[in-house]
Structure 1
């Protein structure tokens, strides 16, 4: 990754976006070598709020190159709304989660869904299966089948491909995917999608570079999260199975998130057994 990032920088591009925090160290290395190139990299937690954390605290703005800003990989509110939706749509009171593997960033994804589900139905049961990768069609299909056999009638998927949706369709259960709107894959199976729209953090930084006010932008938006308030994290189109009553209930919760009346708790540890 460092070689690829350096090659782009050497070509004289104005902005480079690294679409995962696993590339952050490489970004820092190259950014120091190319101070006239601007870099955007994903990170889940704002280093200024977690300055005492041994990992995240390494990336506070004073410790980073001046040509780097961070885009927040923060779908917390969307996942919370997904959990709320799933619980309201479940007739068996059992939900399933497909998580690529156990790690704090992905645990936070699942836990936010869990909190949303519990807010809608405190007695709801939630099960999680770790797949072992982001794309693993055979293992994903097996996991969906297992959850269906255990009585889960709505599944939340963090997987990158569509195998979970197709297997959920085959098993006659519902599914909510992440990252982008995937309703068209199976309109009667997908209830909605957690959509992460990177336009705001990316366009903001790019415009700052174009207007030559990157330093001022960085001071305000060193870490720019995806939020329900600015419309960068939201639920996608509704599936045909979702009634208006559920849509309204979810919309009411979304209003509270946007106003700040409701905050989603972030928990790193595994809390779903």
Structure 2
């Protein structure tokens, strides 16, 4: 009788172990904007949905949207950790320090922060090589402009944004030596009203091709109303401006999220600084407009192919900054560490970086 009871107990214990092993991995996401922004946060959420589709009931995801960068972010990240999430992705630069603080308090939780640079044992970072697609955008804008004036709506003056402005201008300059760039800082990631105002301010200054580092389709809509051209940000925004839209740069996060979740499941996850780009199919050009001139379309395709093959890297010297100093020596391509520290404009950009 005792043996039978022991076997039953063992069986129950084994069953409990199997049930525990089959519990889904809980994955949390923190977004700076609404998932409906049709830009940065939207594409991160598409990556989350891709994760669910790939793993099915092996994962359980949750997200918090519209989280301000600062104290609110720390509170939200802490709540996700306390709720039992095994892996938490924080998806905006301003979440960096709050993520670092929470990661220290929850050493058994794995954290990953997008676009930052601070690592710890249980905290990794990941970023897109958006400067690759920005260079192509610049080449296109340089060929398309009739006023020789292109515009850029900046969000915040962080290295990622400054790096991308430089890439746009270098790309434009490579095909049009007379091109100028005008920059307006919206000081927001997502605010359709501010983005519309910024777009109109640029177009009032003679800009006829516009790029943006903000997330709503408002700048494209503004360009459509005035018969000018623009390039979409982070997701396919073609439907908002069928004539103005040149193409959109689309961020594809799903492959990375799937890979990192699998690593956590397998127990092989390690803290690292990951950079993904065109070569990784994490950056694509969406809905290239058929109304483009043939030579422009050909140049888009050839530049894309050179970057994808590794034949061309945009930040390869010699490159001077706008004060005349050598910023990148001849034949040197900026390393990832150096790219993360870009806080200077290239030669030809007359604006000053705000502080």
For the criterion TM > 0.5, the same-fold answer is yes
Aligned residue in 2 for 1:269: 344
Q: Per-residue deviation at 1:238? A: 0.8
Aligned residue in 2 for 1:51: none
CA–CA distance in 2 between the matches of 1:105 and 1:258?
Answer: 20
- Mean Cα displacement is larger for which, 144-153 or 1-10? 144-153
Which of the residues 268, 273, 291 maps onto 1:241? 291
Structure with the greater alpha carbon radius of gyration: 2
CA–CA distance in 2 between the matches of 1:200 and 1:31?
Answer: 24
Aligned residue in 1 for 2:307: 257
TM-score of the pair, normalised by structure 1: 0.84
CA separation of 1:111/1:32 partners in 2, compared to 1, >3 Å: closer, same or farther?
same
Is residue 115 of structure 2 the alignment partner of residue 43 of structure 1?
Answer: yes
Structure 1: segments with no counterpart, 5+ residues = 45-55
Q: Per-residue deviation at 1:178? A: 1.5
Is residue 203 of structure 2 the alignment partner of residue 142 of structure 1?
Answer: no
User: Larger relative contact order (C-alpha < 8 A, sep ≥ 6)?
Assistant: 1
Q: Per-residue deviation at 1:243? A: 3.1
Aligned residue in 1 for 2:100: 28
User: CA offsets per residue over residues 97-139 of structure 1, 9 Å max, x none?
Assistant: 1112434332122111111111122221221122232334344
CA–CA distance in 1 between the matches of 2:74 and 2:195?
Answer: 31
Which of the residues 217, 221, 237 maps onto 1:166? 221
Structure 2: segments with no counterpart, 5+ residues = 1-72, 316-338, 351-355
Equivalenced residue count is: 251
- Mean Cα displacement is larger for which, 76-85 or 100-109? 100-109
Is residue 89 of structure 2 the alignment partner of residue 17 of structure 1?
Answer: yes
TM-score of the pair, normalised by structure 2: 0.66
Structure 1 contact 71–202 (Cα < 8 Å) conserved? no
CA separation of 1:21/1:130 partners in 2, compared to 1, >3 Å: closer, same or farther?
closer
Aligned residue in 2 for 1:152: 207
CA separation of 1:27/1:124 partners in 2, compared to 1, >3 Å: closer, same or farther?
same
Structure 1 segment 114-125 matched on structure 2, within 5 A: 114-125=169-180
Which of the residues 159, 167, 171 maps onto 1:104? 159
> 2:207 is paired with a residue of what secondary structure?
coil
Query: What do you get for the CA RMSD once the two structures are aligned?
Result: 2.0
Q: Per-residue deviation at 1:17? A: 0.4
CA–CA distance in 2 between the matches of 1:228 and 1:40?
Answer: 21
